Structure 1
Amino acid sequence: MSTTSVDLLILGAGWTSSFLIPLCEERHVSYAATSRSGANSTIKFEFDQGSDNPEPFKALPDAKSVLITFPITVSGASERLVQLYKSTRHGGDDTNPGFIQLGATSIWGVSSRQNARADPQAPLKPVENKWYDRKSPFVPGDRVNAEEELLKLSPSVPTTVLDLAGLWGGSRSMMNYVGRVAPTKEILKNKGSIHMIHGIDVARAILAVHGDWSKASGERWLLTDGRVYDWWDLASSWGSGPDPTNRDSKDRGPQPVWVRELMKEEGVRALPRNIEVLGRALDSREFWETFGLDPIRARLE
């Protein structure tokens, strides 16, 4: 792993990097990664969104692509990061890397309670039962506004945003979320759709952008595994027992029973339910078609 010039610089070596770094090594893509602590062979780096100090950036290597894994929420901070990085390059003004910002699909009509890791007691906001794609209107906010600022730097600076659905894989098992997401029958009743993407497919998408900036620059992408999951279906299949993988276990928690009761009460004849009653549905086809890829890890566990 070079520290002076690399193909890919990962700003923030978190969960995503546990899939991305092995894929870089497999494909012989040189990389460097940062962390706040500088542990595990990473470069110590922390981005202060309000600072114009170039010193922290001088420790970073030149790169063809820069991946930003952390959210930026301060107005002007996205452009500040780009300019501070470019001004401290060893290759001088001719260095023009592309910048990939990771975002979230929650900008498209989602309520806080539909996130698997959200507080299940939080108020449920109405969500329209309709399809969303990457060009659908999104909910404004500090994070998405900063992403828009980054995209506006194109075409002079190649930039793109990858808005990711719920992340799973490795240490993140969706089976462990049923009890948290649906602790009562009433809460489960209000659960609709959920969209996911595996870490390896996130890594493949990042390297696809890195390998073809002509298709990515200036674009916001929506990434899922191409499926719309039904929380009732998942809760019925897995339950919330101590071992959701044991289909013969009698201690699967109350969720499968609740689903059966709810199906009778709501007149649902089979699972998964139709899109028309699940809430939002995300269409991520355009990214996979544009880059000639297909998700390789789908259908969750």
Structure 2
Amino acid sequence: MQISKSVDEGAYEGVGLLVLGAGWTSTFLIPLLKSEQIKYAATTRDGRDDTIQFKFDPKSSDAGPFEMLPIAKTVLITFPLQGEGQAKHLVRMYESTHQKPGRSKPHFIQLGATSIWTAPKWQDESSPYEHADSRAIAEDELMACSEGAVLNLAGLYGNARQPRDWVDRVVKSKSDLKGKGALHVIHGEDVARAVVALHRNFTPKKRWLLCDMHVYDWWDLVQDWAIQTLRSAEVGVGQVDTSTAKVERQTELLNWVGELMLEEGVRALPRDTSSLGRTLDGRGFWKTMGIWPTQGRIR
């Protein structure tokens, strides 16, 4: 559970971590920053909840919004930067409004997505990625212009955001389910721990792949969640939606999984990892930081 420490949190002026875009991730990150006694500041578009009102406009050269931001050891960018120019513009605007002789330049961390890795089988942070992807272009630019680091995140979950709620969005037909192979996720608490670890042990010009080190089988998950709902309906307890429509939907999903297993010659679930298509090896970041995910398997 311990987060590796190598930064003296009181050895510099300003804040330790500046969070540009205090959204869902910050609900896990800010409590951790408080418990770890890391001085921080955060921004939102409307300045809610004691944050700084800030909106990044990649087409504006107005220094005013940046002048309102504090000096920071690490600047975390939670919103996506796209294509060429945006990362360079953000870095230039922040540094030009905060740089003074003798002051160290800040470390920049960008949160990204693991979708830039598109190889059909195993891949890690050193694997080839889609260089033409608009987010990958911006990440490459950030690393080049500021020696920043990138955390590419698997599917985010935690609190009200739960993977089982994604099923109705991504599986609308039996054909949709047939095409579902591996699912990779990372809990918000482990994202927060990763950010703090990278703040304290920064890796310049490095892109990391962040997941919980599990490969989940969509068929296995859909079957398990369907069974949970149907059992809750039978006994009439629990907080799971057990309406008639929900029960019918879960019965349909359960039947689809069984039919697909017969049709595809799958003898047992979960399927072998080699049959799930694109799979992510997330060990590198955790090994380098000397910590490991704490949230276990999704249920």
Matches within 5 A, 1:61-76: 61-76=70-85
Give the letter aligned to residue 81 of structure 1. L
Go from structure 1 to structure 2 and tell me whether the alpha carbon gap of 1:260 and 1:151 turns closer, same or farther (over 3 Å shift).
same
Aligned residues of 1:66 and 1:100 also touching (Cα < 8 A): yes
Provide the rounded CA distance (Å) in 2 between the counterparts of 1:183 and 1:163: 28
Provide the rounded CA distance (Å) in 1 between the counterparts of 2:177 and 2:281: 24
Aligned to 1:266: 264
Aligned residues of 2:187 and 2:212 also touching (Cα < 8 A): yes
User: Which of 115, 134, 150 is the aligned partner of 1:106?
Assistant: 115
Quote the offset at 1:186 in angstroms.
1.6
Aligned to 2:172: 183
Structure 1 ranges of 4+ moved more than 4 A? 90-93, 247-250
Provide the rounded CA distance (Å) in 1 between the counterparts of 2:125 and 2:285: 9
Give the letter aligned to residue 246 of structure 1. S
Quote the offset at 1:46 in angstroms.
0.7
Go from structure 1 to structure 2 and tell me whether the alpha carbon gap of 1:295 and 1:246 turns closer, same or farther (over 3 Å shift).
farther
Task: Tell me whether 247-256 or 290-299 shows the greater mean CA deviation.
Answer: 247-256
User: Which of 199, 208, 220 is the aligned partner of 1:221?
Assistant: 208
Aligned residues of 2:78 and 2:110 also touching (Cα < 8 A): yes
If each structure's helix is expressed as a fraction of its own residues, which one has the higher value?
2
Q: TM-score, normalised by structure 1?
A: 0.86
Quote the offset at 1:101 in angstroms.
0.2
Quote the offset at 1:47 in angstroms.
0.7
Q: TM-score, normalised by structure 2?
A: 0.86
Deviation by residue 1:102-152 (Cα, 9 ceiling, x = unmatched): 00000011xxxxxxxxxxxxxxxxx72x10111111112221101101111
Provide the rounded CA distance (Å) in 2 between the counterparts of 1:196 and 1:59: 35
> Helix, strand or coil for the counterpart of 1:99?
strand
Matches within 5 A, 1:242-253: 243=229, 246=232, 251=247, 252-253=250-251
Equivalenced residue count is: 274
Residues 1:13 and 2:4 are matched in the alignment: no
Give the letter aligned to residue 232 of structure 2. N
User: Which of 79, 82, 87 is the aligned partner of 2:91?
Assistant: 82
Quote the offset at 1:244 in angstroms.
7.5
Go from structure 1 to structure 2 and tell me whether the alpha carbon gap of 1:21 and 1:211 turns closer, same or farther (over 3 Å shift).
same
Provide the rounded CA distance (Å) in 2 between the counterparts of 1:17 and 1:149: 25
Provide the rounded CA distance (Å) in 2 between the counterparts of 1:173 and 1:92: 47
Aligned residues of 1:196 and 1:225 also touching (Cα < 8 A): yes
User: Which of 15, 34, 38 is the aligned partner of 1:29?
Assistant: 38
Aligned to 2:285: 287
> Helix, strand or coil for the counterpart of 1:162?
strand
Provide the rounded CA distance (Å) in 1 between the counterparts of 2:126 and 2:162: 30
Quote the offset at 1:280 in angstroms.
0.5
Provide the rounded CA distance (Å) in 2 between the counterparts of 1:263 and 1:247: 25
Matches within 5 A, 1:39-58: 39-58=48-67
Aligned to 1:204: 193
Aligned to 1:145: 137
Give the letter aligned to residue 71 of structure 2. D
Quote the offset at 1:247 in angstroms.
8.2
Query: Larger relative contact order (C-alpha < 8 A, sep ≥ 6)?
Result: 2
Provide the rounded CA distance (Å) in 1 between the counterparts of 2:251 and 2:138: 42
User: Which of 146, 159, 162 is the aligned partner of 2:148?
Assistant: 159
Quote the offset at 1:45 in angstroms.
0.4
Identity across matched positions, percent? 48
Pairwise CA RMSD: 2.0
Deviation by residue 1:142-177 (Cα, 9 ceiling, x = unmatched): 211011011113xxx441000000000012011111
Point out where structure 2 has 5 or more consecutive residues left out of the alignment: 1-12, 236-241
